[in-house]
């Protein structure tokens, strides 16, 4: 009996998934939260394996030490930057409408710039007024229940990943069990590398942006640098979102300062895309830009902001799964 070709199988699964997500929007939120928890589990598992090389006693004490170290790290970070963020974020939200109005007033004498600004007025005004973007972010990421689900899934999945893999293996044939094990190992390896690369990229972008804005004497440089680093988790689209508030704040001072801020972001992103990303992708799977951007657009339409945020790891998951299954089919052949 001939098996279904892997590309057709993957295409069928993708179409079935899109149909299910479109037909059952509540299912979309659940699946994305579970997927976020799996990503957290991959990070915790990688940290636990690193801790096992240092601590004796096996996985249990290493996992406990990992959770304790991560908790302590977040507490220290909150105590260190929490008060500053608490002061600067309200100021940033308050200054965005003023910055937007100032920018429009400054370019009012330039016909071409005024026309371009009018074309982009709607989305930027949403951001500047804090009535659309911040409400979406708060409703998507600020829910205590959603955060609890992600943490719950991540902690319990990382505590005993073999147990959950064995549950899936029990429902499959012997041939499918072997494929599931290979897919799980490859996915964990590639996701670790990708997350490590994104974390390194976020740190460099955030620190470089904050230092550059501070040197230029741009207001709220710390918060703007933190924002640029956080949104750079989303490839390609994230940097475009990250530059908007800094440009608006700089435009309050002068268009010249806004030009220097734009140049700073271009230099940082050029370094990230031409130097840092190729170095990271030497050991990780490369994701084509067109595929990533298309996935982000589709994810945004079907699943909202969380779909954009998780588009890259979902594409990575599909790419690794397809590669492993096709290699298994060639081996069987």
Question: What are the tens digits of pLDDT across the range 22-35?
Answer: 666 666 777 788 88
Cβ-Cβ contacts under 8 Å for 39 (sequence gap 6 or more): 154, 191, 195, 310, 313
Give the Cα separation of 62 and 7 in Å (integer): 40
What does DSSP assign to residue 5? P
Question: Are residues 224 and 210 in contact, defined by beta-carbon separation less than 8 angstroms?
Answer: yes
- Residues with Cβ within 8 Å of residue 79, at least 6 apart in sequence: none
Q: What is the DSSP letter of 4?
A: P
pLDDT reported for residue 22: 61
Nearest CA to 92 out of 244, 268, 238 is that of 244
- Report residues of the chain scoring pLDDT below 50: 1-6, 119, 121-142
Residue 144: what pLDDT? 67
Structure confidence at residue 133 (pLDDT)? 42
């Amino acid at each position: 009996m001939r098996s279904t070709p892997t590309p057709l199988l993957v295409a069928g699964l993708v179409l079935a998934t899109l149909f299910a997500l479109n037909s059952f929007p509540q299912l979309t939120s659940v699946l994305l939260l579970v997927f976020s928890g799996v990503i957290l589990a991959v990070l915790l598992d990688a940290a636990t394996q690193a801790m096992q090389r240092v601590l004796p006693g096996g996985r249990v004490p290493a996992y406990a030490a990992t959770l304790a170290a991560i908790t302590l790290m977040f507490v220290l970070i909150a105590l260190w930057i929490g008060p500053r963020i608490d002061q600067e974020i309200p100021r940033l939200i308050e200054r965005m409408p003023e910055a937007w109005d100032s920018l429009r007033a400054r370019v009012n004498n330039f016909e071409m710039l005024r026309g371009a600004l009018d074309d982009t007025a709607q989305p930027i005004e949403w951001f500047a007024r804090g009535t659309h973007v911040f409400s979406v972010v708060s409703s998507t990421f600020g829910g205590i229940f959603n955060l609890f689900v992600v943490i719950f899934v991540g902690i319990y999945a990382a505590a005993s990943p073999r147990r959950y893999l064995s549950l899936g293996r029990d429902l499959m044939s012997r041939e499918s069990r072997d494929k599931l094990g290979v897919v799980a190992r490859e996915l964990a390896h590639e996701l670790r590398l990708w997350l490590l690369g994104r974390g390194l990229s976020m740190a460099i972008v955030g620190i470089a942006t904050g230092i550059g804005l501070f040197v230029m004497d741009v207001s709220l440089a710390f918060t703007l640098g933190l924002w640029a680093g956080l949104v750079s988790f989303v490839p390609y689209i994230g940097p475009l979102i990250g530059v908007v508030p800094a440009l608006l704040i700089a435009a309050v001072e002068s268009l010249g300062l806004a030009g220097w801020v734009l140049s700073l972001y271009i230099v940082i992103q050029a370094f990230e895309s031409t130097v840092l990303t190729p170095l990271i992708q030497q050991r990780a799977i490369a994701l084509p830009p067109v595929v990533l951007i298309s996935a982000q657009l589709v994810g945004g339409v079907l699943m909202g902001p969380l779909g954009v945020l998780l588009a890259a790891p979902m594409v990575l998951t599909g790419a690794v799964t397809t590669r492993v299954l096709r290699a298994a089919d060639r081996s069987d052949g």
